[in-house]
């Protein structure tokens, strides 16, 4: 069988990194990128591939799948557009990543190299699990979550929808992180984080309230 063609949503540099992950993952190939903000980017291409305008994608729904290649947790708008057009979401795991057979990964999620996900853990839809991330056992990670490079999320932990965990941040065992919150790079989260706040530092403390992801 031929490789599944994928459309990557996004035309920034991270989309090129995701393209590299796709090229290293058996069973998939990049078939182009998708733009939903600036139609002029479609004329320039990206990484040697065609850039499609999102409103023109309905003919691709029958035989293509998509992956959202944006690190912002506001990518929900893009994924909603693609799903409304009937394009199904792919799930891509780099060959060097380890996902326990007792764990699950939702549609539209991508796992980058050298990541390890422990047993009995669930990761939701359209999550970005970046390079070298560690996720412990019996942990729940919600939809549209971004775990930055080198982040370490402990066991028996809950990370709600649209949370952004920065580079090298640590979330200790048994802690919950509320919807739309942001964990700063290098922070160490030792207690529960409420919804829609930004925390930074060691130990992490609230530095901003009433936010909605990053």
The residues annotated as belonging to the active site are 137
* Best CA proximity match to 140, nearest among 184, 149, 125, 151: 125
- Are residues 70 and 46 in contact, defined by beta-carbon separation less than 8 angstroms? no
Strand-by-strand arrangement of the 104-105 sheet: 104-105, 122-123, 140-141, 158-159, 176-177
> At CA 138, angle to CA 165 and CA 70, rounded to 5?
30
Q: Please state, in angstroms and rounded to a whole number, the distance separating the CA atoms of residues 47 and 199.
A: 35
């Amino acid at each position: 069988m031929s490789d599944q063609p994928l459309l990557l949503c996004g035309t920034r540099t991270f989309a090129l990194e995701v393209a590299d992950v796709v090229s290293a993952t058996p069973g998939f190939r990049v078939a182009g990128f998708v733009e939903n903000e600036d139609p002029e980017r479609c004329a320039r291409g990206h990484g040697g591939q065609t850039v499609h305008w999102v409103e023109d994608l309905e003919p691709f729904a029958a035989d293509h799948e998509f992956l959202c290649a944006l690190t912002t947790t506001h990518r929900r708008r893009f994924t909603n557009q693609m799903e409304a057009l009937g394009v199904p979401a792919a799930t891509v795991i780099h060959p060097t990543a380890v996902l326990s057979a007792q764990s699950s990964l939702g549609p539209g999620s991508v796992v980058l190299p050298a990541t390890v996900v422990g047993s009995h853990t669930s990761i939701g839809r359209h999550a970005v699990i970046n390079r070298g991330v560690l996720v412990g056992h019996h942990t729940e990670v919600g939809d549209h979550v971004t775990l930055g490079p080198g982040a370490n999320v402990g066991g028996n932990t809950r990370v709600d929808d649209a949370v952004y965990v920065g580079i090298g941040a640590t979330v200790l065992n048994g802690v919950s992180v509320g919807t739309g919150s942001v964990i700063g790079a290098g922070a160490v989260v030792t207690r529960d984080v409420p919804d829609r706040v930004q925390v930074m530092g060691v130990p992490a403390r609230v530095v901003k309230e009433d936010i909605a992801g990053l």
